[in-house]
Amino acid sequence: MIRRNFPLLRLTPEAAGKLQHDYDRAIARLAQLEREHTELQNQIRTQCGAETLWKLRTDTRNAVLLVDLKKEAA
């Protein structure tokens, strides 16, 4: 097995603080999006039915995979 030594990343205190701030903001935004997504799913399930939610999820997943496949083929 080949072992590679990766250089240690050294940041100035200002850069480390900015990186931590950006990370905290990204994690907070991700948590907010997850809460909104869950509530959206609950409302779709309530108003349109579980089968409609299942079909939307499947169609969305397939659309995303198709875009990825087109990018890979290009």
Which pair of structure tokens corresponds to residue 49? 């039915």
pLDDT at 29 over 90: yes
Percent of the chain with pLDDT over 70: 97
Which pair of structure tokens corresponds to residue 7? 């250089």
pLDDT at 9 over 90: no
Distance CA 74, CA 54 (A): 31
User: Hey, is 23 helix, strand or coil?
Assistant: helix
Distance CA 69, CA 54 (A): 23
pTM comes to: 0.67
What's the angle, vertex CA 35, arms to CA 46 and CA 18, rounded to 5? 165
